[in-house]
Chains A and B, each alone.
Chain A
Amino acid sequence: MDFELDQDQEMLAKTVADFAKNESPVERFRKLRDDDIGWDPGVWRKMGELGWLGVPFAESVGGFGGSFVECALVLENLATTLVPEPYLASVVLGGSTLARAGNAAQHDAYLTPMIEGETTLALAYSEAQSRYDVSSVETKATPDGSGGYKLSGEKVWVLNGHHADHLVVSASAPGGVTLFVVPRKADGVAVTVAKTIDGQKAAFIKLDGVRVSNEARLGDEGSGAAVLDRTMDYAAAAAVAEGVGIATVMLHMTVEYLGTREQFGVKIGSFQALQHRAVDMYAETELLRSISMASTVRADEDDPSVRGGDISAAKYQLATGGIWVAQQSLQLHGGIGVTDEHDIGLYFKRMYALNALFGDQEHHVARFASDSSFAEAPA
């Protein structure tokens, strides 16, 4: 049993943390909130040059052949200053799905340019009725008789869907849920930008008879739901890793505030009621960090029964402990925490966004409890 990072991993974490601190402080995110894209393609390219966008992917597609551990390190450290580039949307959601479901030609065409920082991806899987069930897909893929398909339907809350070069879209084909790559600018794709609570952007995407060739299909008909299940675990673990970064910063900012803010002639951090709250925040943050280590390591497991328990437990801790840390850090900042001027609220909103994505608390409780091993094995 070993929780330590190897030297390369340590180095990666430090490089990303330094970048976040020095080159992308929170003010940068603030400015980009009002930008049409919301992030900077130049910075994305730089991330590609630094190799960050390829850490979990095989060397054969231009990646670094790492594991999810590296991916989690990037996410956790980018989160410390709310770096807005679409790492989660493009690498974790679009990228890992393409890597798993696509063939070599598709990897060359869509994954490699993303890894190099030339393009970004988005995963259009969610629909108005689907909630967290990736197999609930009403978007239709109708065979056009010559090997291709016509896609029609509506996708919601597509992260980075407003600017991604390529969308990975789930649709119901005659053989079941199937994944396709669709250029965002293809005929029949209508994108509506939707601002999100955390100052980022997503898209509602309407597909109206979008023509795709057979080469745009990722894997066989009917193979999509299993791939998406896997992606959702990956993404849940990613959200938790990011949540660790968020919670750590919120705890740190709060402890610092308690040590400087004075009322009644003393530092408010000397009040026992507030000290105890801060200690409980610390406990929840460490529980989140610890179970995140487990979900990070498990994210690459093929067996869903081995993988799922820790990932659901981690997402559950984000939904309970992580959210609680966010709430309390705002509370302990007092009125200033509820202004847009103070950074604490930006982290607060990002934690809620992470909570809402890739399965909420009830979803993961139910998933954990429905595993076949739940009845027999204790823990």
Chain B
Amino acid sequence: MDLTFTEEEEAFRREVRAWIQDAMPEDMRARAEGAGGFTPEDTANWHRILYKKGWVAPHWPKEVGGTGWDAARRFIFNEEMELSGAPQLSVFGLSMVGPLIISFGTDAQKKRFLPKILSAEEFWCQGYSEPGSGSDLASLRTTAEDAGDHLIVNGQKTWTSYAQYSDWIFCLVRTDPSAKKQAGITFLLIDLKSPGIEVKPMLTLGHTPAFCDTFFDNVKVPKENVVGGINQGWTMAKALLGHERTMLAMIGPSRNVLQKVKRMAATKTVNGRPMLEDPVWRAKIARLEMRFRAHLMVSYRALADQQKGKLPGPESSILKLVGTKLIQELTELAMEVMGESSLTWHNEGVCPPIEESIGPYFCYERAATIYGGSNEIQRNVIAKMILQLPSS
């Protein structure tokens, strides 16, 4: 057993850290700690900066634009990106539909879509959930009827986050209403500029523009935009979930919030001394940091498996469950450290920028235990697949 990164890996970490410091524009760095957070334009800019460096899709195979890094370097890169507070790149193209097209797409689809995902010429969003289909995703009712060389799509998708800034949406649609519910679903790529599409944004609890509803009214979609074949959508959806698993461990964000908690606790006072010197507050922070360490070791185990070319062991299934709970507890601790200042809401200059950033983030991260398969659904899956408990 050896739990350290090699000297080469540590050198790589220093290289990445130095590059990020250097590459992030001043105004973006300022906004990283500001009340408003990043604008979609910031995210796109950062995407383009990484693209120019060749580092925008480290997890893609080298021949389609990846970096060729091993699992440890990818992990270190992600950690450093998240720790730096840089904008998180839109995951829908780079981490969701991109890898799916790489695995299951036709050559024409790869040629058409992958380069523009890399270059940020086209942004993507996700069309899975519907008003009546959340955890029971397979009950979805948006239809795609066969009309010769194209399909006609009708229905409503919800939680199509960032659709208002996106060019394309990948959707699960029903192509065979008579089949058993999982069997009649198709994975479809739809151009958001198509006639008949309407996008209605909706504010999040953090008052940030993320959520959207997207409506489809007789939208024509060419059949060449089907990925994986007609009625093969459920298989595609499950493959895509696999990509999400480690992404949702929240290692970087947790470390980032922990850092903010300590920075705030070092300057704010209680009983006439910095909170960080108060034993009660130190203990509160220490408890979560120790929990974080245990969680970090679980993700290191998954990483070590990947390094050896093995599939992550069953323990990696708890990463989303534990990581999302932890980020919520950490953002809550950050709110507690702020005391009355946690009342602040999108002000400029009322509280220090670091404090202005906490409330909206705290509110937004309440979604962490819901998206990507709610934690209750995760438990159902782990009970069945790993503990092999009897089904009801």
Contact = CB atoms under 8 A, between A and B. Distances in A.
Interface of A: 1-5, 69, 255, 258-259, 266-267, 269-272, 274-276, 278-280, 282-283, 286-291, 293-294, 296-297, 309-310, 312-314, 316-317, 320-321, 362, 364-366, 368-370, 374-376, 378-379
A271 B392 contact: yes
B294 A288 contact: yes
A1 B307 CA distance: 9
A-B pairs with the 8 shortest C-beta distances? A290-B297, A275-B383, A369-B286, A378-B259, A291-B294, A369-B282, A313-B290, A270-B392
Interface string B285-305: 111011111111110110110
Given A258-B390, A287-B291, 19 more contacts: A1-B2, A1-B5, A255-B387, A270-B390, A270-B392, A275-B389, A276-B383, A279-B379, A282-B318, A290-B294, A290-B301, A296-B1, A313-B294, A366-B283, A375-B276, A378-B256, A378-B258, A378-B262, A379-B258
Given A1-B72, A4-B1, A270-B389, A282 B380 contact: no
B386 interface: yes
Contacts of B301: 3, 290, 293
B83 to A, nearest CB: 8
7 contacts: A255-B388, A282-B386, A290-B300, A296-B1, A313-B289, A366-B283, A376-B262
Interface string B247-291: 000000001101100100010000000001001001101110111
A1 B290 contact: no
Interface in B337-392: 376, 378-380, 382-383, 386-392
Contacts of A275: 379-380, 383, 387, 389
Given A269-B390, A369-B282, A290 B383 contact: no
A1 B380 CA distance: 32
A375 B303 contact: no
B20 to A, nearest CB: 16
B1 A279 contact: no
A264 B241 CA distance: 35
Nearest to B71: A1
A252 to B, nearest CB: 10
Contacts of A271: 392
B2 A297 contact: yes
A375 B285 CA distance: 10
Given A283-B321, A313-B290, A294 B297 contact: yes
A279 B315 CA distance: 11
B286 A259 contact: no
A276 B376 CA distance: 8
Contacts of B3: 1-3, 293-294, 297
Most chain B CB atoms below 10 A, which of A2, A267, A280, A286: A286
Contacts of A366: 279, 283, 286
Given A287-B295, A287-B298, A368 B289 contact: yes
Contacts of A266: 390, 392
Nearest to A378: B259
A365 B380 CA distance: 33
B106 to A, nearest CB: 38
A378 B387 contact: no
B4 interface: yes
B89 to A, nearest CB: 22
Contacts, number: 156
Contacts of B304: 1-4
A3 B283 contact: no
Dominant secondary structure of chain B at its interface with chain A: helix
A368 B388 CA distance: 37
Nearest to A252: B387
Interface of B: 1-5, 72, 255-256, 258-259, 262, 266, 276, 279, 282-283, 285-287, 289-298, 300-301, 303-304, 307-308, 315, 318, 321-322, 376, 378-380, 382-383, 386-392
Contact of B292 (A1, A4, A274, A379): A379
B294 A287 contact: yes
A309 B262 CA distance: 17
B262 A286 contact: no
Given A272-B380, A287-B298, A5 B389 contact: no
A276 B292 CA distance: 22
Nearest to B260: A378
A316 B287 contact: yes
Given A255-B389, A297-B3, A317-B294, A368 B286 contact: yes
Contacts of A288: 294
B262 A375 contact: yes
B390 A259 contact: yes
B282 to A, nearest CB: 4
Contacts of B282: 369-370, 374
Contact of A365 (B283, B307, B388): B283
Nearest to B325: A283
Most chain A CB atoms below 10 A, which of B285, B307, B386, B389: B389
Contact of B285 (A255, A258, A287, A369): A369
B131 to A, nearest CB: 24
Nearest to B392: A270
A370 B281 CA distance: 12
B1 A2 contact: yes
B262 A283 contact: no
A208 to B, nearest CB: 40
Contact of A69 (B1, B258, B303): B1
Contacts of A286: 298, 315, 318
Contacts of A279: 321, 378-379, 382-383, 387
Nearest to B318: A283
Contacts of B72: 1
A55 to B, nearest CB: 15
B293 A294 contact: yes
Contacts of A3: 1, 3, 300-301, 304
Contacts of A69: 1
A276 B377 CA distance: 10
Contacts of A321: 294
Contacts of A314: 294
Contacts of A310: 293
A270 B383 CA distance: 9
Contacts of A378: 255-256, 258-259, 262, 289
B290 A368 contact: yes
Contacts of A320: 291
A291 B293 contact: yes
Most chain A CB atoms below 10 A, which of B1, B2, B279, B289: B1
A194 B282 CA distance: 37
A314 B291 CA distance: 9
